[in-house]
């Protein structure tokens, strides 16, 4: 296997709005991130992925960009961004940015000129004169239709997400020219790569009606098509002189699609975020849940480990509920958080840690929609209301699944504001801040945080955890066991103590007081045999 710096990287995702507030306005910012670089470095990570910090009306918390060349005032200024890149480099940390180029904000200059019919922006987006009615039957990622009537242009525009996020038209070559300029701008600032948002839906083959299906009608017209592959080749060519990497958020991809997107000889993406392992507890869409099965979960991960040359490994991010609340144990919170960390950092691929995951942050105990900020959650709640779903049922769906579960402020300490802010936080702070916070775990050698540091250090010392071959040995209801090179990883993902008939040389265990010949509940270990 070819060695690459991004294969050896450990990525820490920061959701800037919720990470660290330097000025007391209740919103995290770039100076706040700079102030925490020593902490980030102490984890042993060497890449930071920044969720969007661009200028935006924040209808979708930054994923609706109004100016790709500016920093949102909530986060600071462009003059303040440059010191972040420089300071991070001094700590041996690279910065990658979120690249959101399927759509812009409706407040972007390009859209404002397009809606007025000003050249060359007139067809930077998809417009239709079909009104009343819509040109096709497509449905969007946030639920509902995908066409919005614009009074100024007297036409409708396509939006696969929210109405204020119009889709760019890559049939117009000028769109790519402008996107290419944006990439070079950030690369020249020292950014070392991009997480590419919904990158496999960029190119729409046509606007024909979609096939009849319950969700995402029309997706066959845009999911992972030849036109998108061509755009990705252009992105790769632009990044090549800068030794930067790309990771694509790729919706509804299977392994065959992922191979095409990531084969080195094709020169498209370096790696992709797959979703199949995150879908094992859902029925068709994430809002409808079924009982989580560890055996099913590991089976999906195993398939991707065996059949894809290089993976991304993640268990949570800004779009997913907290992993310990989803896959772990309430009774064994700390133990299960450590086990999940072991899984994250020992599978084949580049691991992505989401802020707070390393201290075991949990879902928020939301009590009403008034506490929810997420536009997706609000849209889905409205759709469920129209379908006459009982109030208790629809609220339970939102509470467990809302993206805001991951977006609550980072818990630095147990005092007012959780060390995140001296002001009123933009989103509620979890009530368990007193038990789960960085300050408390820093002083505990047996904490989740201490274990994450030990795990990361162990990974760096053992090349087998990066480049070693992978083999699944055991996968049942209680225990998972797999091999990475000469190392064996054993996970007891149950509340039961499990007897072991065979035990090798224990190199690292999540249990401080482990019991020879047994696996304690939610114990994770690495051994040599």
pLDDT of amino acid 290: 86
Per-residue model confidence (pLDDT) at position 159: 98
Of residues 201, 204, 64, 224, the one with CA closest to residue 136? 204
Beta strand residue intervals within 297-409, DSSP E: 312-313, 350-354
Instruction: Provide CB contacts within 8 A for 501, sequence distance 6+.
Output: none
Pick from 112, 117, 121: which is nearest to 129 by CA?
117
Distances, alpha carbon 237 to alpha carbons 227, 231, 266, 311, in Å: 16, 10, 11, 22
Strands (DSSP E) contained in 387-515 are 470-475, 479-484, 487-492, 498-499, 505-509
Phi, psi of 301 (to 5 degrees): -60, -45
35: nearest Cα among 425, 450, 412: 412
Label the pairing between strands 271-273 and 245-249.
parallel
Cis upstream peptide for 486 (omega within 30°):
no
Is 182 buried (19+), middle (13-18) or exposed (0-12) by CB count in 10 A?
Answer: middle
Residue 525: which H helix or E strand, with range?
strand 524-528
Three-class SS state of 423:
coil
pLDDT at 130: 80
Say if CB 36 and CB 20 are below 8 A apart.
Answer: yes
Instruction: Write the pLDDT tens digit of every residue in 260-318.
Output: 999 999 999 999 999 999 999 988 778 778 899 999 999 999 999 999 999 999 999 99
Q: Which of 472, 495, 480 is nearest to 525 (CA)?
A: 480
| Domain map (residue ranges) of the chain | 467-528
Active-site residue numbers? 197, 249
Task: Look at residue 312 and give its three-state secondary structure.
Answer: strand
Specify the DSSP element, H or E, that contains 248: strand 245-249
pTM to 2 decimal places? 0.96
Three-state SS at 103: strand
Sequence-distant (6+) residues with CB within 8 A of 88 are: 37, 48, 94, 95
- pLDDT (tens place) for every residue of the chain, 529 residues total: 789 999 999 999 999 999 999 999 999 999 999 999 999 999 999 999 999 999 999 999 899 999 999 999 999 999 999 999 999 999 999 999 999 999 999 999 999 999 999 999 999 999 999 877 789 999 999 888 999 999 999 999 999 999 999 999 999 999 999 999 999 999 999 999 999 999 999 999 999 999 998 889 999 999 999 999 999 999 999 999 999 999 999 999 999 999 999 999 999 999 999 999 999 998 877 877 889 999 999 999 999 999 999 999 999 999 999 999 999 999 999 999 999 999 999 999 999 999 999 999 999 999 999 999 998 899 888 888 888 888 888 888 889 899 999 999 999 999 999 999 999 999 999 999 999 999 999 989 999 999 999 999 999 999 999 999 999 999 999 999 999 999 999 999 999 999 998 889 999 999 999 999 999 999 999 999 9
At residue 393, the pLDDT reads: 87
Look at residue 394 in the predicted model and tell me its pLDDT.
86
pLDDT tens per residue, range 319-375: 999 999 999 999 999 999 999 999 999 999 999 999 999 999 999 999 999 999 998
CA distances from 88 to 15, 30, 34, 182, 488 (A): 16, 12, 8, 22, 34
Strand partners, 313: 351
Query: Which class is domain 467-528?
Result: mainly beta
* SS3 label, residue 95: strand
Q: Contact at 8 Å (CB) between 312 and 275?
A: no
Do 288 and 397 form a contact (C-beta atoms < 8 A)? yes
- Characterize the bridge pairing of strands 350-354 and 11-14: parallel
Q: Which residues, in sequence order, are CB contacts of 391 under 8 Å at separation 6+?
A: none
| Crossing angle between the packed helical segments 226-239 and 173-188, to the nearest 10 degrees | 30
Kindly state the tokens that stand for 269.
Answer: 């993406």
């Amino acid at each position: 296997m070819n060695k690459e710096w991004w294969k050896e990287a450990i990525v820490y995702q920061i959701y800037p709005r919720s990470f660290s507030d330097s000025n007391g306005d209740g919103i995290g910012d770039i100076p706040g991130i700079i102030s925490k670089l020593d902490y980030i470095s102490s984890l042993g990570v060497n890449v930071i992925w920044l969720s969007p910090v661009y200028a935006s009306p924040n209808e979708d918390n930054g994923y609706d960009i109004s100016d790709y060349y500016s920093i949102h005032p909530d986060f600071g200024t462009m003059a303040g961004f440059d010191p972040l890149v420089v300071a991070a480099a001094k700590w041996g940390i690279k910065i990658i940015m979120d690249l959101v180029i399927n759509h812009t904000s409706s407040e972007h200059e390009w859209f404002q000129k397009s809606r007025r019919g000003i050249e060359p922006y007139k067809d930077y987006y998809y417009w239709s004169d079909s009104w009343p009615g819509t040109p096709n039957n497509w449905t969007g990622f946030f639920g509902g239709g995908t066409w919005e009537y614009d009074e100024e242009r007297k036409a409708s525009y396509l939006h696969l997400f929210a109405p204020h996020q119009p889709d760019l038209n890559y049939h117009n070559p000028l769109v790519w020219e402008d996107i290419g300029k944006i990439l070079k701008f950030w690369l020249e600032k020292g950014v070392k790569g991009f997480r590419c948002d919904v990158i496999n839906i960029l190119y729409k083959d046509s606007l024909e009606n979609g096939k009849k299906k319950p969700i995402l009608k029309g997706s066959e017209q845009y999911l992972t098509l030849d036109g998108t592959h061509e755009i990705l080749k252009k992105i790769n060519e632009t990044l090549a002189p800068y030794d930067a990497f790309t990771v694509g958020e790729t919706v509804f991809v299977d392994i065959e699609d992922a191979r095409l997107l990531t084969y080195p000889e094709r020169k498209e993406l370096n790696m992709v975020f797959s979703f199949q392992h995150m879908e094992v507890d859902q029925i068709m869409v994430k809002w409808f849940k079924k009982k989580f099965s560890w055996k099913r979960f590991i089976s999906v991960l195993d398939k991707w480990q065996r059949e894809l040359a290089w993976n991304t490994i993640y268990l949570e991010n800004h779009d997913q509920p907290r992993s310990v609340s989803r896959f772990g144990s309430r009774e064994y919170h700390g133990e299960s958080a450590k086990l999940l960390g072991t899984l994250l950092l020992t599978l084949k691929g580049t691991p992505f840690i989401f802020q707070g995951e390393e201290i075991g942050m949990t879902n928020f105990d939301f009590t009403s929609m008034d506490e929810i900020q997420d536009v997706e959650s609000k849209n889905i709640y409205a759709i469920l209301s129209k379908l006459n779903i009982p109030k208790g049922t629809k609220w339970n769906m939102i509470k467990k699944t809302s993206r805001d579960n991951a977006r609550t402020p980072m818990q630095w300490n147990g005092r007012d504001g959780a060390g995140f802010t001296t002001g009123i936080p933009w989103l509620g702070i979890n009530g368990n801040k007193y038990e789960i916070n960085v300050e408390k775990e820093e002083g505990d050698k047996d904490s989740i945080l201490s274990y994450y540091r030990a795990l990361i250090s162990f990974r760096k010392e053992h090349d087998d955890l990066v480049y070693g071959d992978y083999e699944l040995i055991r996968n049942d209801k209680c225990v998972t066991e797999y091999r990475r090179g000469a190392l064996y990883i054993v996970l007891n993902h149950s509340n039961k103590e499990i007897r072991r008939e065979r035990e090798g040389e224990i190199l690292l265990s999540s249990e401080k007081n482990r019991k020879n010949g047994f696996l304690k509940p939610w114990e994770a270990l690495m051994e040599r045999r």
